[in-house]
Amino acid sequence: MPRALVGVSGWRYPSWRGDFYPRGLPQRLELTYAAERMTSIEVNGSFYSLQRPSSYAAWRAAAPADVVFAVKGGRYITHLKALRDVETPLANFFASGVLALGRQVGPLLWQLPERLHFDHERLAAFFDLLPRTTGAAAALAAQHDDKVKEDRSLTETEVDVPLRHALEPRHESFDSDEARALCAEHGVAVVVADSAGKWPVMHDATSDFRYVRLHGETELYASGYTDESLDRWAQTCSGWLDEGHDVHVYFDNDAKGHAPHDAVRLLARLGIERDPAGP
């Protein structure tokens, strides 16, 4: 059955404490509190630096077994290397612990910088490197270099399951038939990104799942979503679900604490009720 996988991009924000998170909730229980009320979480610390297998394992242990973790690819790959000559950086990324998520691993998100325009050859070469199963990711991880120490690497997987990939471009040149065709050829989902008008919104489906990032309706990273807007997103998501597609939606409007509340409100509109046991 297709699933509505709705959550937040990251979970450790001081402004959420005493608001979404009850006053006095220990920081170590914040992920559990969020995950019990949502169906997915987007890991974004992996964008800024390589994590550790112990961290991924701890995050998995902190969440209900039905919660899926999307993982944001490293900016070293997307921003500094700009997708070129990234076979070893990709090996390092997967060796850093992603495989510890086991069956709870969700799509890998590759967010591109605004300056990076569409280049067919560059993007095709990058797509060819992406592992499509956790088994293939483990084989790639085994090729890591000394940036990932052996005692902080994970190059085996407990289960061989498919890996999905989503691309979030921010240059208007990606809003083209050629770019969409290339993503579709490789089964990579183009993210539907709502960014208060800052970056292009690309709605055309290029994969068998949908990936939405909601960065703020009127103010980037800061504004919340109105009831009317969430009604429209719920209707859109329901349509995708009816077509048989998994739908991933992550709220990134975290600056003023709207993200977790909006995620819970969207889940309610989709008729999904979580039953938090409480920390």
| pTM for the structure as a whole | 0.96
Beta bridge partners of 210: 247
The answer, yes or no, to whether residue 279 has pLDDT greater than 80, is no
Instruction: Work out whether the CA dihedral 150, 156, 158, 160 comes out positive or negative.
Output: positive
Mean pLDDT on 56-74: 98
Q: Is the Cβ–Cβ distance between 23 and 265 less than 8 Å?
A: no
Alpha-carbon gap, residue 78 to 109, rounded angstroms? 10
Q: For residue range 83-131, list pLDDT tens digits in order.
A: 999 999 999 999 999 999 999 999 999 999 999 999 999 999 999 999 9
Beta bridge partners of 108: 71, 165
Specify the DSSP element, H or E, that contains 231: helix 227-242
Q: Is the Cβ–Cβ distance between 110 and 78 less than 8 Å?
A: yes
Residue 74 sits at φ, ψ, to 5 deg, of -70, 140
- How confident is the prediction for the chain on average, in pLDDT? 97
Q: Is the Cβ–Cβ distance between 20 and 261 less than 8 Å?
A: yes
Architecture of domain 4-269: Alpha-Beta Barrel (3.20)
Alpha-carbon gap, residue 110 to 130, rounded angstroms? 11
What's the pLDDT band for 277 if we cut at 50, 70, 90?
low
Alpha-carbon gap, residue 159 to 163, rounded angstroms? 12
Domain ranges of the chain: 4-269
CA distances to 135, 138, 159 from 102, in Å = 11, 12, 6
Mean pLDDT on 63-69: 97
Q: For residue range 154-189, list pLDDT tens digits in order.
A: 999 999 999 999 999 999 999 999 999 999 999 999
